[in-house]
Structure 1
């Protein structure tokens, strides 16, 4: 018999909940279906991250409410549930569930000017820059998708013809992998899949932590 706090997979109801929320993102819908969120989304996410905590650390499970104070879009609720294990400022491991299924990620989602400058300094330097290229080539070759916010042109002070200019344009840098509707997301096996993904992408997290200063 499963323990109440044991991860058994995200039920289909979790995906259906977010599919419906995208169509009716209102307080009325949320209050009418709050119990579904609690049992099909929040509880499994808590169990999943708890199962990974011994190796990776405690996760922050994000609030389901959007901050709409300065947003044009005033819909009140997020259309996915994310959790993040911080290993440094805005840097670490990520997992989310929503209508499109489950997605995992790693990287840094923002950086202070000082940290971004230090990362770009490392990208420019031949040994450290080549190290990053090798890590990214390995991971993208294994199916990870490189993402993040990027400048449209070269950052100030860098040659537009630099061989790593595409990396230097990044203001944030992430790697993601989607499970979509793979049946594994509904099973306890997802724990080991996420564990394996985060382990595989750890060299990228470690590179960022090693060279980000400030």
Structure 2
């Protein structure tokens, strides 16, 4: 089954209203049915992704995150997430970046990029952008990029990064601390019969950005 049923959202909406272990245990069988649907979707998305990228994640089941929240250091003690999610890791050090999907009524999206680059990576990225921003700007201004993601997203510094010029023509790009490409979907899109194709299209349109970043960040022997 490729088309996702409305039950993936209706179960989550009920869970949101009854976010406690007693209710969840009473409805565990229902949860397992919905989880299998999400795993099946993840398997199909992974198969499509492997046609145009090389993915380390071995299966849809391995990509899907647990429904249980880590509440050890959270003020919110509700035990369960009210969304389905999963991620795929690109294979080998030559392919940088990763993919993530999030399915939640009113807040579904697919995102790819770099959530928390380390200091060495962010410095290499900024140096490459400052030296010649045109290649990245061409990617971000391409019609398919704008149609799919609208713009590059992520946290930015409010000041100039250390070691760079505040008057650098690419200063807005240099201020990024995260690099996220986000394709948002309405509930109607998620439940449509072509959602798998739309999701895969979003993943495909991330590739020029990933190729650029991988070239910037890859070092022989790393």
Q: How many residues align?
A: 204
TM-score, scaled relative to structure 1: 0.83
Residues 1:36 and 1:170: Cα distance change in structure 2 (over 3 Å): farther
1:8 aligned residue:
2
Aligned to 1:159, what secondary structure does the other structure show? coil
Query: Which of these residues, 169, 176, 182, is aligned with residue 170 of structure 1?
Result: 176
1:43 aligned residue = 36
RMSD of aligned C-alpha atoms? 2.4
CA change 1:199–1:153 in 2 (3 A) is same
| Structure 1: distance between partners of 2:79 and 2:116 | 23
What is the CA distance between 1:140 and its match in structure 2?
4.7
Out of 150, 153, 161, the position equivalent to 1:147 is 153
SS at match of 1:147: coil
Deviation at 1:76, TM superposition (A): 2.1
Match of 1:85 in 2: 88
Aligned-residue offset at 1:188: 4.5
Q: 1:3 maps to which residue?
A: none
Per-residue Cα deviation, 1:50-108 (whole angstroms, up to 9, x for no partner): 12334243352112222222223332222221111112688222222112253212111
Separation in 2 of the partners of 1:76 and 1:23? Answer: 12
User: Which structure has more strand as a fraction of its residues?
Assistant: 1
Q: Hey, what's the Cα distance between the residues in 1 that align with 2:118 and 2:101? A: 23
Q: Which piece of structure 1 moves more, 82-91 or 95-104?
A: 82-91
